[in-house]
A = this chain, B = another copy of it.
Amino acid sequence: MRVERIAREAGVPLVWRPFLLGPIFREQGWNDSPFNIYPAKGRTMWRDLERICEKEGTPFRRPSRFPQNGLGAARVACLAFSEPRLPDFVRAVYRANFADDRDISDVQVIGGILESLGQKAGDVIKPAGEAENKERLRLQEGEAIRLGIFGALLLTVGEELYWENDRLEDAISLAQLTVG
């Protein structure tokens, strides 16, 4: 919710790169979110997220299903890769999942999000599921694993990896030095 604004204010170009967490987690031997596998940590992480969102004024409701299957959404994001409408779509999917407790694996929900952003759902959802685009997501996935990415949101600035909301400002500061 914050990264686009902060990057713009700093004059730093930002490239969104959609990937799935599932294969990344499987690389670590997990078949579920670590929030579920390690409930003591998960409990504090959910509470932490609640506190951050309260502080930021970002709507948040703990989803009744977690994690959800984001494959369809990731494919749509991949199809929109490098298009200026991508960030709006990503934010809307995150809001659906983490504020409105909707089922983002439901093609109707993704279609509704696309329509709300002025897209024809039919124009997007079919090509998103075609072989060429599926392959695009797989390539992104391989690149994420190659970069040593272990979670989301993860920012890369050159060779440096910055993990999560807490490090946004540090990442953007480094990027500013690099750009400047």
Contacts and interface: CB of A to CB of B under 8 A. Distances in A.
B170 A44 contact: no
Please tell me how many copies of the chain the complex holds: 2
A170 B166 CA distance: 13
Contacts of A51: 170
A44 B148 contact: yes
A94 interface: no
B160 A47 contact: yes
B48 A163 contact: yes
Size band of the interface chain A makes with B: 20 to 34
A80 to B, nearest CB: 27
A27 interface: yes
Contacts of A40: 27-28, 148-150
7 contacts: A28-B38, A28-B40, A38-B150, A40-B148, A40-B150, A41-B151, A48-B167
